[in-house]
Amino acid sequence: MSMIAVFIGRLFIAVIFIVSGINKLIHVADTNAMISAAGLPSGLAIPTGLFELVAGVCLALGIATRLWAILLAGFVLLTILFFHREFTDPMQAMMAMKNLAIAGGLLCLFGYGHTRWSYDALRARRRGEIAQHDAELRAREAELRAARAEGRAEAVDTPVVVEKRPFWRR
């Protein structure tokens, strides 16, 4: 049951970033204005939107979940510092708390990054199957080498038997 909760939670968090990234890419001018108002360079709208979109899709599919989770957690915490630092304003304080909760969820994803129903788990399972197959193949080859060596040893240790026939039968 907990794996289902982790899967659904991962999807919910991913949706936040997918939608936010799409909105930033659709409304580039507005995003650039907001970024400039925070004192950051204005050309960051498209890279930020692409980052959020790619990271959200990767989280949803479970591709490099731990990496994207820690990167997004840092990103969300930085947005608190740059965009929601007026804690006396109730709206800014609420947005900062929301981002803090999202960062906490992302850190939980970092902790449980390789769960079922993700590309990471599929890849890890496949690597295990390949390692098991390789180990079985090496064991089989070792058995064959041992059998061949045993056969050669028996051939060397076996005395040559010469039949003694009467000279007229030779």
Q: How confident is the model at residue 163 (pLDDT cuts 50, 70, 90)?
A: low
The C-alpha atoms of residue 137 and residue 100 are separated, in whole angstroms, by 50
Under 8 Å between Cβ of 70 and 106: yes
- Mean pLDDT value across residues 96-124: 86
Spell out a b/e string for 10-25, using b for 16 or more CB atoms within 10 Å of the CB, else e. Answer: bbebbebbbebbeebb
Find all residues with CB under 8 Å of 16, minimum gap 6, and list them: 56, 102
The C-alpha atoms of residue 77 and residue 100 are separated, in whole angstroms, by 7
> Using one digit for the tens of pLDDT, what is the confidence trace for 136-154?
999 899 888 888 887 777 7
- Predicted pLDDT of residue 149: 81
Q: Is pTM beyond 0.85 here? A: no
> Using one digit for the tens of pLDDT, what is the confidence trace for 53-97?
999 999 999 899 999 999 999 999 999 999 998 889 999 999 999
Distances (CA, A) of 67 to 58, 70, 111: 10, 5, 11
156 has pLDDT over 80: no
Per domain, the residue ranges of the chain are 1-115, 118-157
Element at 64 (helix H, strand E) = none
